[in-house]
A and B are shown apart, each in its own frame.
Chain A
Amino acid sequence: MRRGFLFYSQLAFTLLVCTFLILPVILSVMAGLTVNYFQGLSSGLTLRWIGEVWSLYSETIFLSLWIAATCLAVNLVIGVPAAYVLARTGGRLARVLEELIVLPVAIPGLAIALALIVTYGGVPDFRTNWSFILVGHVLYTLPFMVRSVLAVLHSVNFRELEEGAASLGATFRQRFCNVVLPNVKPGILAGALMTFTLSIGEFNLTWMLHTPVTKTLPVGLADSYASMRLEVASAYTLIFFIMIVPLLIAMQMMSRKR
């Protein structure tokens, strides 16, 4: 096909959209590394703001990593078996259950957080513990793990594989661990990446669920946007990008392989 005016105008449009998405990220990275953003790059580059963020907010970074890791662990322990059960059950019941399990994604985090607060907010040791945030994150990410594993289970014929193993005398435990799990590994991996990434960036639920002693990275970000100078807020955002971009790239690579 000859590349005429139409091709180049569409290309220009797409590049413009891309600029809209990427330019602010570049601005933010720059602002986090310049001595004085309002004077521009001529004021020089510095890591001072990064250092300042580290001394002010490093705890939020560790808490977010910790919550994301435990959230992932919980999802693996409860989500993978649940997906298997849904795939094994099949039929109408499984569809209804799946519909129920994805509800927390369809309902705004704010509403779920309010529901958790009015129900469990009165339990003081729970309310001020990081596990209160963990509960919200598990609810929000579980559907992604379940769906991701379910999608793979539906695409590999695991029943036949299991029947084969069973006819050779494999017990249920052996079949689940040696036949089902290895076959759904891509789904578990994709779900795990998604879970971890979403948990690190979750704000809508977390803002309502957090307390002064349980602040996650996005909560700290909101705090710095409201009260810190632009350079510090940008440096903090830069740290967040450095954490999340490798995860996003890994997710893109996985979805391309499929």
Chain B
Amino acid sequence: MPLLQDRKGVSHHPALILGLLALPAGIVFLAFFLLPMVRLVLIGASGEEGAAAYLSMLTTPRHLESMIATVLLSLGVTLTALAISTVAGVFLVRHRFPGRAALVSLLTFPLAFPGVVIGFLVILLAGRQGLVGQVAQFLTGNKLVFAYSMAGLFVGYLYFSIPRVILTVMAAAEKLDPRLEEAARSLGAAPWRIVADIILPALKPGLIASGAICFATSMGAFGTAFTLATNIDVLPMTIYTEFTLSANIAGAASLSVILGLVTWAALALARSFSGSTVAASG
């Protein structure tokens, strides 16, 4: 093998050339991400309370409530999205029927809708002139309006979570070994036992990974909350009001650093289970 000679050819001035190729991305990243992030962390500690601002999450009741509400909302959305997407995703992988491809396309199609647009879609569904309200009025005589509350946020977050989770579930379900299931069935296992003992354990890493992504996305989502209501206290809205209305820049900075740590940790967890992350927008 003439490998030695070849390698020499390839690695002609390698370090210098590689360094030059990576330089532009490196400069952009250092100047516009790392440096600003460090400043944000420092400014978070520059308020009246100093570095203790990072504990304000615990000491300021309004911040603590907002954090708890955001975590609960995100957890609820994550669990619901996982349940819905597992049923639909496993179904779509295991059955072939006319229109299946179109159905898969439609289900994954809202993937790149921005949060603001999703907020508007929730208004059309459950807002003052929304479809749900009109149908409810027709059926019961009472108008049902829930877009501008936690319930509206829940629906919106579910909307952008389902397509993402379905994609991950489908990818994981395609790797299921049908022979395991056949073996279980031939041994007389009931359908629910097959689901509980074979399908769910096999999907578990994928479910944890996509659940963590879903949680992180919901924690950091801003657009939907912004469109629906300014008086719902989820953490991104709290940060926004601290920054714009109260001009409390240090407070907004410390809260967003904490929020960033939470979402980063959730996504790091996701990666340790799957090895890849899907877009975290919304």
Contact = CB atoms under 8 A, between A and B. Distances in A.
Interface of A: 6-7, 10-11, 13-15, 17-18, 20-25, 27-28, 31, 37-38, 74, 77-79, 81-82, 84-86, 88-89, 100-112, 114-116, 118-120, 135, 138-139, 142, 144, 146-147, 159, 162-164, 166-167, 172, 175, 194, 197-198, 201-204, 207-208, 218, 221-222, 225-226, 230, 233-234, 237, 240, 244-245, 247-249, 251-252
Given A13-B87, A110-B220, A118 B264 contact: no
Contacts of A118: 36, 39-40, 43, 249, 253
B236 interface: yes
A24 B267 CA distance: 30
Given A82-B26, A106-B280, 6 more contacts: A14-B107, A23-B125, A105-B277, A111-B220, A115-B33, A204-B281
B105 to A, nearest CB: 6
B216 interface: yes
Contacts of A162: 10
A110 B87 contact: no
Q: Which 7 A-B pairs have the closest CB atoms?
A: A108-B220, A166-B9, A115-B36, A24-B121, A111-B256, A82-B25, A81-B21
A138 B120 CA distance: 26
B79 interface: no
B36 A116 contact: yes
Given A22-B106, A110-B240, A111-B260, A85 B112 contact: no
Contacts of A109: 220, 222, 281
B119 interface: yes
Contact of B264 (A14, A85, A106, A222): A106
Contacts of A172: 12-13, 17
A10 B88 CA distance: 7
B104 to A, nearest CB: 9
A167 B10 CA distance: 8
B253 A233 contact: no
B259 A108 contact: yes
A175 B51 CA distance: 52
B209 interface: no
Contacts of B110: 21, 25
A16 B91 CA distance: 13
B68 interface: no
Q: Describe B's contact surface by its main secondary structure.
A: helix
Contact of A105 (B18, B131, B279): B279
Interface of B: 2-3, 5-7, 9-10, 12-14, 17-19, 21-22, 24-26, 28-29, 32-33, 35-37, 39-40, 43, 84, 87-88, 91-92, 95, 97, 103, 105-117, 119-125, 129, 131, 159, 162-163, 191, 216, 219-223, 226-227, 236, 239-240, 243, 249, 252-253, 256-257, 259-260, 263-264, 267-268, 276-277, 279-282
A28 B121 contact: yes
A89 to B, nearest CB: 7
Given A106-B267, A118-B40, A17 B10 contact: no
Contacts of A89: 18
A202 B21 contact: no
B177 to A, nearest CB: 17
B28 A138 contact: yes
Given A14-B88, A14-B92, A142-B25, A167 B2 contact: yes
Nearest to B24: A78
